[in-house]
Amino acid sequence: MTLHPSDPLDDLLRWEQAGGSWRLLDRGGDGVTVSLCRCDGGEEVDRIVSTDPELAVYVNARPSSED
């Protein structure tokens, strides 16, 4: 069995398609931090911390699931 590393942008899009909300918490020279929240926009349940350039472009253009 071959394990494939997770794709952060795919993870974010799957989260949103499942009804969860998200928001950009931080963007810096070494990547982005995105908060994954419950579907009601409530409490944070996880975070994506990544240096993936595709994720950075996506969240810089749309900094939350509400945008």
Query: The tokens 């749309």 sit on which residue?
Result: 62
List pLDDT tens digits, range 15-60: 999 999 999 999 988 899 999 999 886 899 999 999 999 999 999 9
Looking at per-residue pLDDT, the higher value among 6 and 20 belongs to 20
Assigned token pair, 46: 């996880």
CB 11 within 8 A of CB 20: no
Give the model's confidence band at 5: pLDDT under 50 very low, under 70 low, under 90 confident, else very high.
low
Tell me the pTM: 0.86
